[in-house]
């Protein structure tokens, strides 16, 4: 009886040990799986950095088969570039980050731990960078023209990068915010093309900033990044704008120094003349009688 009890206890202990060993092949799940996309440059990021295991990324468009990026299979990285793999820009994608054994290591697990991303649509969710633009002033017609340069995307076609106008086509507009230089009152103009023409007051300077606008998107994703502020030149500049406050102050100081020097010289001359008039000279000495 004691022998049977001892054997049963030994088998129980062995099974517990085996369970503990098999448990060591279980890997931590990926955390904070996030899409990051700017001008269609799309990355999938997650954490933590792996120790004795690796990550594999699987992605798929809704209704399509799963796919993998060869550079993101059993990798030690926590980032995967999927820019060139998301070929249908208007499709909705999901990604799974699997925790797997390192290369060359086997495991008896049938299904590896994985974490799924949120939905992502490149056309609707990528952030649009700030555009550049040039200002042209027509003094004859009092018009100002902005020539807007469409930001480049990360999408290659025919061995060149497409700009965002070639991707969004008629869905792309530009929001122009402007004001007179020195004024706080702002106005807004929306243009369907990469050129905006505005009426201007003669001789006035105007300051502009430009954003891409995609009305078909959700409200929080319609506007791209704001461009840097640029101002048109002013034809009739004030003396302060023409020369600057420092130059004007220096000129005033120089004039004041000259005036002070002249006044000092006049005062010295007057004092000398009074002194000469008060003291008798040679011609004023009395004659001695013989």
pLDDT tens for each residue of 127-161: 999 999 999 999 888 899 999 999 999 999 999 99
Structural domain contains residue 112? yes
The answer on 72 and 115 residing in a single domain is: yes
Say how far apart CA 285 and CA 288 lie, in whole Å.
Answer: 9
Taking CA atoms, 285 is separated from 61, 141, 207, 274, in Å, by 122, 85, 82, 19
What does the pLDDT read at residue 273?
Answer: 77
Q: Please report which confidence band the pLDDT of residue 20 belongs to, taking 50, 70 and 90 as the band edges.
A: very low
Structural domain contains residue 99? yes
The answer on 116 and 53 residing in a single domain is: yes
The answer on 142 and 97 residing in a single domain is: no
Structural domain contains residue 10? no
The CATH number linked to 180 is 2.60.40.10
The answer on 107 and 136 residing in a single domain is: no
What range does the domain containing 221 cover?
132-234
The answer on 177 and 109 residing in a single domain is: no
Say how far apart CA 30 and CA 286 lie, in whole Å.
Answer: 121
The answer on 97 and 185 residing in a single domain is: no
Structural domain contains residue 276? no
**Boundary-marking domain end, from 95, 125, 155:** 125
The answer on 178 and 213 residing in a single domain is: yes
The answer on 137 and 110 residing in a single domain is: no
What does the pLDDT read at residue 262?
Answer: 84
Q: In terms of pLDDT, which residue wins out, 186 or 267?
A: 186
Structural domain contains residue 20? no
The answer on 145 and 221 residing in a single domain is: yes
Structural domain contains residue 22? no
What does the pLDDT read at residue 12?
Answer: 44
What digits encode the pLDDT tens for the residues 84-124?
999 999 999 999 999 999 988 877 777 899 999 999 999 99
If we measure between CA atoms, which residue out of 8, 4, 5, 27 comes closest to residue 16?
8
Structural domain contains residue 186? yes
The answer on 143 and 121 residing in a single domain is: no
Determine which of 26-30, 32-36, 140-144, 274-278 has the lowest per-residue pLDDT on average. 274-278
Inform me whether the pLDDT recorded for 80 exceeds 90: yes
**Boundary-marking domain end, from 106, 125, 144:** 125
Inform me whether the pLDDT recorded for 175 exceeds 70: yes
What digits encode the pLDDT tens for the residues 42-62?
999 999 999 999 999 999 999
Q: In terms of pLDDT, which residue wins out, 81 or 282?
A: 81
Structural domain contains residue 68? yes
Q: In terms of pLDDT, which residue wins out, 41 or 17?
A: 41
Distance of CA 277 to the CA centre of its chain: 81
The answer on 157 and 96 residing in a single domain is: no
**Boundary-marking domain end, from 199, 215, 234:** 234
The answer on 141 and 121 residing in a single domain is: no
Instruction: Please tell me the total count of domains within the chain.
Output: 2
What digits encode the pLDDT tens for the residues 204-262?
899 999 999 999 999 999 999 999 999 998 765 555 554 556 767 787 888 988 889 88
Inform me whether the pLDDT recorded for 1 exceeds 80: no
Say how far apart CA 92 and CA 61 lie, in whole Å.
Answer: 6
User: Tokens in use for 103?
Assistant: 């290369």
């Amino acid at each position: 009886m004691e022998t049977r009890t001892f054997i049963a206890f030994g088998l129980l202990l062995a099974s517990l040990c085996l369970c503990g060993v098999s448990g060591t092949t279980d890997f931590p799940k990926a955390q904070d799986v996030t899409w990051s996309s700017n001008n269609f440059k799309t990355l999938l990021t997650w954490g933590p950095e792996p120790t004795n295991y690796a990550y594999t990324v699987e992605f798929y468009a809704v209704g399509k088969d799963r796919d993998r990026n060869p550079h993101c299979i059993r990798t030690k990285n926590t980032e995967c570039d999927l820019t060139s793999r998301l070929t249908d820009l208007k499709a909705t994608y999901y990604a799974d980050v699997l925790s797997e054994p390192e290369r060359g290591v086997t495991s008896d697990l049938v299904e590896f731990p994985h974490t799924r991303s949120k939905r992502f649509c490149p056309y609707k969710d990528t952030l649009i960078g700030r555009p550049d633009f040039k200002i042209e002033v027509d003094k004859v017609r009092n018009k100002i023209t902005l020539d807007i340069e469409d930001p480049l995307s990360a999408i290659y076609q025919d061995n060149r990068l497409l700009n965002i106008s070639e991707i969004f086509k008629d869905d792309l507009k530009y929001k122009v915010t402007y004001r007179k230089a020195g004024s706080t009152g702002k106005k807004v103009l929306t243009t369907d093309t990469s050129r905006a023409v505005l009426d201007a007051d003669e001789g006035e300077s105007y300051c502009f900033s430009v954003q891409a606008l995609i009305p078909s998107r959700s409200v929080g994703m319609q506007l791209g990044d704001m461009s840097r502020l640029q101002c048109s030149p002013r034809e009739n500049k004030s003396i302060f704008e023409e020369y600057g406050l420092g130059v004007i102050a220096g000129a005033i100081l120089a004039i004041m120094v000259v005036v002070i020097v002249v006044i000092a010289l006049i005062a010295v001359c007057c004092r000398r003349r009074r002194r000469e008039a008060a003291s008798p000279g040679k011609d004023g000495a009395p004659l001695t009688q013989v």
